[in-house]
Structure 1
């Protein structure tokens, strides 16, 4: 997993790279312009690259950065040159995908949560707990998988809701920052002809929201 973000207005010329979920007992180790963050067992869980434009050149945009293989190689060369631990592994797998709700059951300890078994185009379905009032079996939805960074900067990780494991999030249009998204509770229901595992397409979502307005 590799999640990168760049927000120069708030943090200057710094690239934040997250490899794992935050852990208790993390330690920060500085090697020149690189800070390696390690977990309790010593594995690297993330990096801060200060003055990153000196490594990668000027980065465009704000927020999440999708690094190319060449950029990952450049960062790894900088890690090695600085004597910092670990290396990055490129991750191009989409984290926002179409899912199909194969099965939906009531949560055993909630009067409004449901437990879904969701097809994301992989050999096995994933279990996702969802509290949206309009979720139903058979729907084609947008799923944020573990490692997805939402427009707010929130990163989706595996977790549990009231004791039931959940491995992602079924998204509302406003959570995806779809233009024209209604300011009300409810997931975004996508067209039935979209195949499970298809990467999320903002243009398609925008047309769906406009049609439902």
Structure 2
């Protein structure tokens, strides 16, 4: 689940993205300050828009934002007051973390992609299909997990590349808009002493 807010460009609207709707046809059901966006085919909720959200609580950040449990509870009160029965579930897990490539094989249907198994926590490994020329076994880098919003606004969801499932993205300095990022392809290379699963901190993980 992704919370995003940009008052200057979108208005006083909190957008909550529940799942990737792709190119599916959508319907919108609005009640008061709440709009539910759902798949036309089966009515499944894919997003919520909360209008005039500053009447509920203030949001100082812009772009992807992370709400407190109290703020999410206030949103659910608003949904209930408008007659919606679903609830918004808070997701406070970090979306940009240190990861390590622990297995890598060539993609069977590509001359430049690799299928990587990437450890993103002490007890969690995800599959990521990547084309970075510097990807290699044992490399530690920064991983954007499903639910992340990139600086340009791109959303990270589970997907497929040429028939192989992919659950995130290994990031380049340019993709993270880091200062003095090299103008060439390649994911961030971290030192071996970085701890897998640590939330990304530009001050700690990037020097150029």
Shorter-chain TM band:
over 0.9
Cα shift readout 1:155-199 (whole Å, capped 9, x = no counterpart): 111111111111110110111121221121110011211121111
> 1:22 aligns to what?
21
The CA distance in 2 between the partners of 1:44 and 1:160, in whole Å, is 22
TM-score scaled by length of structure 2: 0.94
The match for 2:144 is 144
TM-score normalized by the length of structure 1: 0.92
Distance in 1 (alpha carbons) for counterparts of 2:159 and 2:59: 33
- Extract unaligned runs of 5+ from structure 2: none
Please give the per-residue CA displacement for 1:44-79, whole angstroms capped at 9, x wherever unaligned: 2211011111111x3213211111111101111111
The aligned runs of 1:1-213 (5 Å cut-off) are 2-22=1-21, 24-39=24-39, 40-56=41-57, 58-207=58-207, 210=208
Say which SS state the counterpart of residue 77 (structure 1) adopts. Answer: helix
Q: Which runs of 5+ in 1 are unaligned?
A: none
Distance 1:85 1:27, change over 3 A: farther
- Equivalenced residues, count: 206
Secondary structure at 1:4 match in 2: strand
**Structure 1 residue 26: Cα displacement:** 2.5
SS state of the match for residue 120, structure 1? strand
CA RMSD between the two structures: 1.4
CA-CA distance at 1:124 after TM superposition: 4.4
**Whole-Å Cα distance in 2 between the matches of residues 120 and 206 of structure 1?**
18
Deviations 1:112-131 (CA, angstroms, capped at 9, x unpaired): 11111111115342111111
In 1, Cα distance between equivalents of 2:85 and 2:47 = 11
